[in-house]
A and B are shown apart, each in its own frame.
Chain A
Amino acid sequence: MNVELSRRAFLLTAGAGVAGTALGAFGFADIEAAHAAAIRPFKLVNTAETRNTCPYCSVACGVIMYSKGNLRKGEQAEITHIEGDTDHPTNRGTLCPKGSALLGFVKSPTRLQHPMVRKPGSDKFEPIAWKDALDRIARLMKDDRDKNFVAKNNDGVTVNRWLTTGFLAASASTNETAFATYKVVRSTGILAFDNQARV
């Protein structure tokens, strides 16, 4: 990494040239403020940084998320910019056209924000409280499982499977989410269990 450290030093002086240290110190006097406005203030100043990995393809590029507010200090945090993490061995700070626009995924106008239900035959979603939605889903699961659980097959072998409900797991959730999901789904006897590896 020595090459890169010297590179950082270089870039700092390249902005300022041979007089870098002197110029770097002075900032702007009032009289110059109008002209200084030609250059946008650096927008990441005083943001909080968080390391993450891109959720799209399996290159798993390192990214840095910049936010107003710091989640680790218990604050509300709004992500304002995302760019590649130069320290990451694979992507070395680069990002593809999807990764470079990750902020737009986090802030997509079509991100879901509230639980919704669409009733049979209805042509619209309606809001529902988390508690009510979860209660109802658990009830539906339990009833279907009780009714259709196969404890033994025709040969009398214990098979303990539940085939009338299925679960499709994600492709970008964490290992930890995957394991929690695995435990719950497997414990019910569901076999129609698949992920996105095929498609």
Chain B
Amino acid sequence: MTNSWTDIRNTDLVVIMGGNAAEAHPCGFKWVTEAKANRGAKLIVIDPRFTRSASVSDLYAPIRQGTDIAFLLGLINHCIQNNKVQWDYVKAFTNATYVVKDGFTYKDGLFSGYDEAKRDYDKSTWDYDIGPDGFAVVDATMANPRCVWNLLKNHVAVYTPEMVERICGTPKERFLKVAEMVAETSSPDKAMTSMYALGWTQHSKGSQNIRAMAMLQLVLGNIGIRGGGMNALRGHSNIQGLTDLGLMSNLLPGYLTVPTQKEPDLAAYMSTRGFKPLRPNQMSYWQNYKKFFVSFQKSMWGDAATPENDFAYEYLPKLDVPGYDLLRTFELMHQGKMNGYFCQGFNPLQAAPNKKKVIESLSKLKFLVIMDPLDTETGRFWENHGPYNDVDPTKIQTEVYQLPSTCFAEDDGSLVNSGRWLQWHWAGGTPPGEAKRDTWIMAQLYLRLKDLCTKEGGAFPDPIVKLNWPYADPGDPKAEELAQEINGRALARVTDTADPTKVLAEAGKLLPSFAALRDDGSTACGCWIYSGCFNENGNNMARRDTSDPDDAGFYSKWAFSWPANRRILYNRASADLTGKPWDPSRKVVEWDGQKWSGYDVPDITPTAKPDQVGPFIMNPEGVSRLFTRGMMRDGPFPAHYEPFESPIVNPVAPKVRGNPAARVFEGDMAQFAEAGSKEFPYAATSYRLTEHFHFWTKHVIVNAVIQPEFFVEISEQLAAEKGITKGGWVRVWSKRGSVVAKAMVTKRIRPLTCDGKTIHIVGIPLHWGFTGAAKKGFGPNMLTPFVGDANIETPEYKAFLVNIEPAPGPVA
């Protein structure tokens, strides 16, 4: 989230699209109901299903899953055509005026530079015209046809209300009602907030779904302000934290990246990272990259990371592919190229697409280690559970360890919520049986591995043997010790660069914030964006002061928000070019002639002049991007692509199947049903229900009581067509698998008309499996295709094709 849960109270219009906040985040949704009750705010829900969010909305618009970009670009088109643009914001704070290089084109669904064989682009034309001064060329008049605004205007022109109806199935009148309400927030005194979740990410063009809305929000001037923003509602309690801390194939903590094999040394690594400003006077905060990186290396390898050895640069593994994400890992496992696998609180047998492939993959491992508080399906993938897990244990040679770990109630530490608040919690219960904290388990494994490396040597033992492990009890690090390590410490005295007499931190002391980080090895910091969370003032994540001046919704003394305790990202954009708030009733920070101050920590230097330094300090432009240059694999603008399995051919680009830049493994393409398939005629989608959390709460008897059994949702029309009865059994199958479920026949799902064709939707909730207290059931991953988003490989769980028929119940 750019903003926070409590800030939603400040909005005038909530758009829930690509998510279902009332069901998946009920207590956060409270702030929607508050905005409605206190400010007269309106709620629009755009979803294939009339959800529980829709049940309390002011306007519901149906949409076919996988067509969000067409809808959103249709909204941008509407705003441009009707002059509903916050012009001062767009001109000052976006790259609308930047001139794009000659050679950049978009035609028939493809941008310039496409290589069909590689399913990838040569992105060299996707960039600005760079002037002789080394800066990007801008045209403040926007007369140049090559400036971003004019390219955008042309790009979205095809998405007329009629085209939106044709692609999305949203009736034109309904779309226009949405468009009018959204467009009203282009006024500087109106704010719209976007609340989205995996309904946008779990597509082969998930990243572009989100970009499309972010672009709309920029056109409307809704980023950086109270009650505005792009608010990703993260699915799990600390998936924000796990991502911030870089627990991904290609990440280091704080969104630094793992080196590739094209970067043999630190100089080569740094050459593509410390972005220089693209416009005069801009901050381009990534210029500090090396400070963050070196401090991270010092926290990893301590004294073994020296200037002489590039701060142990060679201890880091180097990537040969963009990343070994979940899908690639299972592909490699399936090819028999992997031997060992660890699942720490993660249940991929239920969570990864194409369950059959997952079972085959796990069966090829030599060993599998599960660390979990609960008895997961993955831990028992080798066990026969009739139709729910039809395997022969005697044929599976994988050695499986199931290690009991503690749960939240038995562990101290911090979690990061969607609003980037790091909140500390305390253990209150004794762990059951022999359950152990994950920190203990990891430490015990590490010490054994280190011992073996020390005794036996073996393959490059140095990074293991020399890992910095400074805990009082090396076999059981404490949460506070780790939190301090994440915050960072001065290894030598750190002084202010502008005033060397001013000491920021004495050697051995905790660092006040990331502003004190250095690239000479004098500071260590596990995750730069968290720095300040546990400094010499104490554990700021444990702060519990509920004061909130003027009821503005910031709660700046509650817990700690990254970065630098900032509650609204890009908050400088809440004020105009003179530093005055666009809307005085919505002040976040303002310029008093000398400095910035207000409710929040400003994202630019407090003394940076408002007409010089742009609000988007992480971008070398200093402004936000309507056109993203070469940052995205599948295009600098979003474009409508059908899902890989689609009931119709792409109306705007009939020759393009799916997202042309999405990675598809050999063999998986053959497992996709063709567009408009007669064999698989129905558009399926998967989702959560409010009664359950993922695959966990089926282990909770009370939650099993309130939603006991797997079912699928279909319209009354489809039920009548197929002879399916309410509560009766059905079989649902895709090109990859088959499930048996009970049927929910509902008015809340209605057939849509897309490109002249009636499209029936089949809704498949995801909460059931073969362990726990609820009835045994199937997961949607029996059916889903093995393909992910072009940029981040999130599987396409939200749009695929199935067939359905009445059936006898499962034979257990």
- Interface, chain A (partner B; CB < 8 A): 1, 48-62, 65, 67, 69, 71, 76-79, 82, 84, 87, 89-92, 94-99, 101-102, 104-106, 108-123, 125, 128, 130, 133-142, 144-146, 148-149, 151, 153, 155, 157-199
20 pairs from A and B in contact (CB 8 Å cutoff): A58-B237, A58-B239, A58-B418, A60-B416, A61-B27, A108-B701, A110-B771, A112-B373, A113-B432, A113-B435, A114-B433, A115-B403, A134-B441, A165-B338, A165-B339, A169-B345, A170-B346, A172-B345, A175-B422, A196-B346
Nearest 4 interchain pairs by C-beta: A113-B433, A174-B413, A170-B345, A50-B428
The reply to whether B434 and A137 contact each other, CB–CB distance below 8 Å, is no
Contact with A along B423-446 (1 / 0, CB 8 A): 101111110111111110111111
A164 with B795: CB separation less than 8 A:
no
Bound complex: CA A61 to CA B233 (Å) = 14
Check B482–A59 contact: CB distance below 8 A. Answer: no
A40 to B118, CA, bound (A): 70
- A176 near B479: Cβ-Cβ < 8 Å: yes
Q: Tell yes or no: B692 within 8 A of A by CB.
A: yes
Contacts of A96 in B (CB 8 A): 26-27, 690
A160 and B261 within 8 A (CB): no
Q: Is B499 located at the chain interface by the 8 A CB criterion?
A: no
Knowing A104-B702, A121-B394, A149-B460, say if A176 contacts B374 (CB, 8 Å).
Answer: no
Instruction: State whether A118 and B399 are in contact (beta carbons under 8 Å apart), knowing that A112-B404, A169-B345 are contacts in the complex.
Output: yes
Nearest-neighbour CB distance to chain A for B69, whole angstroms, equals 19
Kindly name the residue among B383, B449, B458 whose own CB sees the greatest number of chain A CB atoms within 10 A. B449
CB–CB A106/B467 < 8 A: no
Q: Is the CB of A52 within 8 A of B409?
A: yes
Contact B26 A182 (CB under 8 A): no
Query: Given contacts A59-B25, A192-B329, are A105 and B434 in contact (CB under 8 A)?
Result: no
> Smallest CB–CB gap between B582 and chain A, Å?
25
Inter-chain contacts of B548 with A (CB < 8 A): 89
Q: Hey, which chain B residues are within 8 Å of A59, CB to CB?
A: 5, 25-28, 417-418
B283 CB, min distance to chain A CBs, angstroms? 27
A115 and B27 contact, CB distance less than 8 A: no
How many Å from the CB of A72 to the closest CB on chain B?
8
B343 & A168 in contact (Cβ 8 Å cutoff): yes
Alpha-carbon distance between A102 and B27 when the two chains are bound, in angstroms: 15
Assess the B428–A145 pair: CB atoms within 8 A. Answer: no
CA distance A188 to B317 in the complex (A): 9
Compute how far the CA of A138 lies from the CA of B446 in the bound complex, rounded to whole angstroms. 8
Which of B77-85, B98-106, B240-248 lies on the face that meets chain A? B240-248
Known: A55-B415, A179-B527. 20 other contacts (CB 8 A): A60-B415, A84-B27, A90-B419, A98-B691, A110-B699, A117-B399, A118-B402, A138-B451, A168-B341, A171-B238, A171-B239, A171-B242, A176-B482, A177-B437, A186-B317, A187-B463, A191-B258, A192-B249, A195-B247, A198-B794
CB distance from B30 to the nearest CB of A (A): 6
Among A76, A99, A130, A189, the residue within 8 A (CB) of B317 is: A189
Given contacts A50-B427, A58-B25, A120-B399, contact A192 B324 (CB under 8 A): yes
Task: List the count of A-B residue pairs having beta carbons below 8 Å apart.
Answer: 502
CA distance A157 to B323 in the complex (A): 18
Question: Do A113 and B434 touch (CB < 8 A)?
Answer: yes
| CB interface residues, B 390-404, toward A, < 8 Å | 393-404
Which of B364-372, B586-594, B740-748 lies at the interface with chain A? B364-372
Residues of B within 8 A of A163 (CB): 324, 332, 337-338
The answer to whether A186 and B300 touch across the interface, beta carbons within 8 angstroms, is yes
A189 to B234, CA, bound (A): 29
Residue among B242, B412, B463 making CB contact with A189, cutoff 8 Å: B463
Contact A164 B530 (CB under 8 A): no
Q: Which of chain B's residues have a CB closer than 8 A to the CB of A50?
A: 426-429
Bound together, the chains give a CA A19 to CA B341 distance in angstroms of 66
**Chain B: how many interface residues by the 8 Å CB criterion?**
169
Tell whether B130 is near chain A: CB-to-CB under 8 Å: no
Q: Is the CB of B445 within 8 A of A137?
A: yes
Q: How far is the CA of A198 from the CA of B234 in the complex (A)?
A: 10
Q: How far is the CB of A56 from chain B (nearest CB, A)?
A: 4
Interface assignment of B408: CB less than 8 Å from any CB of chain A: yes
Decide if A106 touches B409 in the complex (CB within 8 Å).
Answer: yes
Q: What's the Cα separation between A159 and B337 when bound, in Å?
A: 18
- Known A50-B426, A98-B693, A170-B438; contact A133-B401, beta-carbon cutoff 8 A: yes
Does the CB pair B546–A87 fall under 8 Å? Answer: yes
Interface contact A91-B30, CB-CB below 8 Å: yes
Encoded as 1 (CB less than 8 Å from any A CB) or 0, chain B from 191 to 217 comes to 000000000011000000000000000
CB distance from A150 to the nearest CB of B (A): 9
Contacts of A55 in B (CB 8 A): 237, 407-408, 415
A134 to B401, CA, bound (A): 9
Within the complex, the shortest CB–CB distance from A94 to chain B, in Å, comes to 5
- CB pair B483–A189 under 8 Å, yes or no, is no
CB-based contact A196/B237 at 8 Å: no
* Residues of A with C-beta under 8 A to B463: 160, 187-189
Interface residues of B in 269-313 (CB under 8 A from A): 300
The answer to whether A159 and B324 touch (CB under 8 A), given A53-B237, A71-B428, A98-B697, is no
Check A165–B346 contact: CB distance below 8 A: no
Contact B247 A193 (CB under 8 A): yes
Q: Which of B451-493 contact A (CB under 8 A)?
A: 451-453, 456, 458-460, 463-464, 467-469, 477, 479, 482-483, 485-486
- Nearest chain B CB to A198 CB, angstrom units: 4
- B383: A residues at CB distance < 8 A: 123
Which residues of chain A are within 8 angstroms of B337 by Cβ–Cβ distance? 163-164
For B367, list chain A residues within 8 Å (CB).
137, 140
Query: Could you tell me if B699 and A111 are in contact, using CB atoms closer than 8 angstroms?
Result: yes
Partner of A160, one of B318, B366, B418: B318
Knowing A90-B5, A106-B409, A113-B433, the reply to whether A199 touches B794 (Cβ < 8 A) is yes
Q: Say yes or no: B351 contacts A196, CB within 8 Å.
A: yes
Is B372's CB under 8 angstroms from A112's CB? yes
Task: Please measure, in the bound complex, the distance between the C-alpha atom of A98 and the C-alpha atom of B23, giving whole angstroms.
Answer: 11
A155 to B238 CA separation, bound complex (whole angstroms): 39
A79 to B727 alpha-carbon distance, docked (Å) = 38
* Residues of chain A with a CB closer than 8 A to B393's CB: 121-123
Instruction: Name A112's contact: one of B28, B264, B435, B456 (CB within 8 Å).
Output: B435
How far apart are B319's CB and chain A's nearest CB, in angstroms? Answer: 6
Q: Which of B772-801 contact A (CB under 8 A)?
A: 772-773, 788, 792-795, 797
Question: Would B326 and A194 count as touching, CB distance under 8 A?
Answer: yes
Q: Which of B6, B261, B425 contacts A157 (CB 8 A)?
A: B261
Check if A187 sits within 8 Å of B300, measured CB to CB: yes
Is B320's beta carbon under 8 Å from chain A? Answer: yes
Which residues on the A side are within 8 Å of B694 (C-beta)? 56
Given contacts A53-B237, A115-B434, contact A166 B341 (CB under 8 A): yes
Chain B residues with CB under 8 Å of A181's CB are 247, 344, 438, 442
Q: Find out whether the CB atom of B460 lies under 8 angstroms from the CB atom of A160.
A: yes
Interface residue from A52, A56, A169, A194 paired with B325 (Cβ < 8 Å): A194
Alpha-carbon distance between A49 and B701 when the two chains are bound, in angstroms: 24
A104 to B705, CA, bound (A): 12
When distances are taken between beta carbons in the complex, the residues of chain A under 8 Å from B235 are 57-58, 171, 196
Contact A169/B690 with A159-B320, A179-B486 known, Cβ cut-off 8 Å:
no
The yes or no answer to B558 lying at the interface (CB within 8 A) is yes
B344 touching A58, Cβ below 8 Å: no
Q: Is the CB of A89 within 8 A of B558?
A: yes
Give complex CA distance A87, B545 in Å. Answer: 9
Complex CA–CA separation, A49 to B428 (angstroms): 8
Q: A178 and B429 in contact (CB under 8 A), knowing A121-B397, A138-B445?
A: no
Cβ–Cβ < 8 Å partners of B430 in chain A: 69, 71, 76-78
Q: Quick check: is B342 within 8 A (CB to CB) of the other chain?
A: yes
The answer to whether A108 and B773 touch across the interface, beta carbons within 8 angstroms, is yes
A57 pairs with B693, CB closer than 8 A: yes
The answer to whether A118 and B400 have CB atoms under 8 Å apart is yes
Given contacts A153-B261, A160-B317, contact A110 B375 (CB under 8 A): yes
Given A53-B425, A87-B546, residue A179 in contact with residue B326 (CB < 8 A): no
The answer to whether A115 touches B401, judged by C-beta atoms less than 8 angstroms apart, is: yes
